[in-house]
Amino acid sequence: MLKSKTKIQKMFDTISNEYDMLNNIITFGQHKKWKSKVHKLAESQNPKLILDVATGTADIAILLSQIKNCKIIGIDISKKMLSFGQKKIEQLYLNDKIKLETGDVESLKYSDNYFNVVTIGYGVRNFENLELGLMESNRVLKKNGTIIILETSVPQNRFFKKIYNIFSSTIIPLIGKIFSKNPSAYKYLNKSASIFPSGKMFEKILLKVGFRQTQSIELLFGASTIYIAKK
């Protein structure tokens, strides 16, 4: 599926005000649990500086801010998603721990070997150039640094795959139709999830762009997966 960066950025701009609410509805609140898992995995690396790529409304950055003596930079191409994130950060008085910046993962402005950890929550499948985005994430990581990626995936088990397919092809577009100003966004998000490489296929891409020691953790029978790898 071809994705133009401008289209993606506009799409997230238009759904930014409903993004958090619809995320809660579509995942039955499960995304919070999965993002907490990303936080715990990141914390186990004792990081001092984390880059949260495709931070959106900053859910993951906010969780990561619980890590002691650690600063977080969150970047995103959608200014509107970031502005909702910034409001949340201000309400929680987290300005000194989290800095949000407009930025494109495919051309990061940070030096080589800069961050201890890079996190990407539900971002990779929206990158226009996936490999370039992952290569840039690798470049800015310190040697032995860790990348933690949370992304939707398709369950391998036939029974759960069937339930997943019915849910994502009928319920998600319906929820989009009822609640969203831009229902086509939910069609795109569903379609892109169904064709995006997952499991071993995604690990192969991580290895190809220079990561090592890849691991996958399946969540909810494989409806989402956390990938962990080292630089």
Ligand X SMILES: C[S@@+](CC[C@H](N)C(=O)[O-])C[C@H]1O[C@@H](n2cnc3c(N)ncnc32)[C@H](O)[C@@H]1O
CB closer to ligand X, 106 vs 203: 106
With b for 16 or more beta-carbon neighbours within 10 A and e for fewer, the 124-139 pattern comes to bbbbbebeebbbbbbb
Site residues (CB under 6 A) for ligand X, limited to 126-185: 126-127, 133
What is the SS3 string spanning 46-66? Answer: CCCEEEEECCCCCHHHHHHCC
- Total residues binding ligand X (CB under 6 A): 24
Is 45 a binding residue for ligand X by CB under 6 A? The answer is no
Helices assigned H by DSSP within the chain:
5-26, 30-43, 59-64, 79-91, 130-140, 158-166, 172-179, 183-195, 200-208
Is 51 a binding residue for ligand X by CB under 6 A? The answer is no
Is 226 a binding residue for ligand X by CB under 6 A? The answer is no
The CB-nearest residue to ligand X is: 56
10 Å CB burial of residue 162 (0-12, 13-18, 19+) is exposed
With b for 16 or more beta-carbon neighbours within 10 A and e for fewer, the 52-85 pattern comes to bbbbbbbbbbbbbbebeebbbbbbbbbebbbebb
CB closer to ligand X, 2 vs 159: 2
Minimum gap (Å) between residue 144 Cβ and ligand X: 24
Minimum gap (Å) between residue 5 Cβ and ligand X: 6
**Beta-sheet pairing, 71-76 with 98-102:** parallel
CB closer to ligand X, 105 vs 228: 105
Is 196 a binding residue for ligand X by CB under 6 A? The answer is no
Binding mask 4-23 for ligand X (x = CB under 6 A): -x--xx--x-----------
Site residues (CB under 6 A) for ligand X, limited to 53-72: 53-56, 59-60
Site residues (CB under 6 A) for ligand X, limited to 72-101: 75-78, 81
Q: Which residues would be at the binding site for ligand X (CB under 6 A)?
A: 5, 8-9, 12, 53-56, 59-60, 75-78, 81, 104-106, 121-123, 126-127, 133
